[in-house]
Amino acid sequence: MKTMITGNEAAAWGARLARVKVVSAYPITPQTKVVEKIAEFIANGEMDARYIRVESEHSAMAACISAENTGVRTFTATSAHGLALMHEMLMWAAYARLPIVMAVINRAMAPPWSIWADHQDSMAQRDTGWIQIYSESNQEELDAVLMLYKICEDKDVLLPAMTMMDAFILSHTMEPVDIPDQKLVDDFLPELDLPHRLDINRPAGHGSLIMPEGPVMEYRKAMADAFAGVRDKILKVEEEFREIFGREYGGLVEEYRTEDADAIAVVSSTIASTSKEVVDRMRERGLKVGLARVRYFRPFPHRELREIAKKTDMLGVIDRSYTFGYGGALYAETKGVLYGHSDIPVKNYIMGIGGRDVTPEILEKVFMDMLKIAKDGAVDTEVEWVGLIGDERWSA
């Protein structure tokens, strides 16, 4: 059924169609509508789930962890400060190998207060052991929730995942979305069978103290190994999804007009969507630009980016966050995996912080800058902030 819904509603529909059994969440703008919609589904009897109300996001994740421990599928959603407050519990969920799925509506961190889109909140959680995917449309958001349960619950994976969408740009934007038939989803997504679930008939203790000589390090290595296998699961699940639902998204990195490109933008989320339009406009004028949309940031698509670097003369990495180390996270990690594999120039563009609008006009200026670097063979500035107030160079 194709209908008009917002990104927040798409995430809620994903949870409903996945037959999630427990939802625990605390409201925060711009996530609120996700949990409101789920509460409505449950109240109307359209979703057979338990909604656990809590006093904070830390408790919301704790409730999901406890529920998931018993072997039932759980879901939550949050944004920005709510996600930051969850930090401790995020690691607990991942290290306990619980395949929880969470929608994160990307919102800037304060101060100053900003409720609009940037990726600082989720990028700050990149080392918690969660799979991360960034959506560019409401359809992709709904489909990602369904695919993530299948990926995460695989016995070789058993890891949690967060699916990101940009605040307001998707969360409050209404687009046509194909809501799949429940029966098709049921065929695609089997019931959760958590091997280490708590079971009174098989008494066991989890998460107790282990001395340095004990297998803590081995647990971490097993988790790292599981993460290394996620890439292939993503590709396999996406193929199954395509066969059943007829939609595909390009795996970990979606390539758009990268063939014979002089310069390729490496970018995620809704900026990638707008960039595709810009790429088409520039290609019409004979300007050879392309785009690599990083969908999965965890696991990091190192193989894909190394292959993409072989196809072009430079990469322009657009980040909607900043690490306060060196550049944005996507830039730093892209450069890291290219070291020893590629010598092409890589430049970082910091854009859209605090919801600053990223227009086709400003993106075209970025692509023109990239083409110049491709021609010169060297970057002028390694990390550049684009679209600052009063900066004539980038004003549209």
Q: Which is nearer to another protein, 225 or 277 (CB)?
A: 277
State in angstroms the smallest separation of the CB of 173 from another protein: 4
Kindly tell me the sign of the dihedral angle through the C-alpha atoms of 85, 88, 92, 95. Answer: positive
Stretch that binds another protein, among 33-41, 194-202, 273-281, 284-292 (CB under 8 A): 273-281
Among 56, 70, 182, 359, binds another protein (CB under 8 A): 359
Stretch that binds another protein, among 56-64, 70-78, 186-194, 357-365 (CB under 8 A): 357-365
Among 46, 360, 388, 393, binds another protein (CB under 8 A): 360
State in angstroms the smallest separation of the CB of 29 from another protein: 9
Contact assessment for residue 371 and residue 263, using Cβ atoms and an 8 Å cutoff: yes
Query: Closest Cα to residue 142, out of 71, 51, 247?
Result: 247
Q: Which two tokens stand for residue 280?
A: 């088409």
Collapsing DSSP to helix, strand or coil, 286 comes out as coil
- Position 324: which residue type? F
109 binds another protein (CB under 8 A): no
43 binds another protein (CB under 8 A): no
342 binds another protein (CB under 8 A): no
Q: Which two tokens stand for residue 196?
A: 């280490």
Q: Which is nearer to another protein, 174 or 216 (CB)?
A: 174
116 binds another protein (CB under 8 A): yes
- Phi then psi for residue 8, to 5 deg, are -60, -45
173 binds another protein (CB under 8 A): yes
State in angstroms the smallest separation of the CB of 281 from another protein: 11
Contact assessment for residue 384 and residue 326, using Cβ atoms and an 8 Å cutoff: no
367 binds another protein (CB under 8 A): no
Contact assessment for residue 315 and residue 309, using Cβ atoms and an 8 Å cutoff: yes
Distance CA 263, CA 202 (A): 57
By residue count, the chain amounts to 396
Among 42, 124, 154, 175, binds another protein (CB under 8 A): 175
State in angstroms the smallest separation of the CB of 91 from another protein: 32
Instruction: Print burial letters for 272-298: b (CB count within 10 Å at least 16), e (below 16).
Output: bbbbbebbeebeeeebbbbbbbbbbbb
- Binding residues for another protein, how many (CB under 8 A)? 24
Q: Which residues bind another protein (CB under 8 A)?
A: 4, 30, 115-116, 136, 166, 168-170, 172-176, 270-271, 273-274, 276-277, 357-360
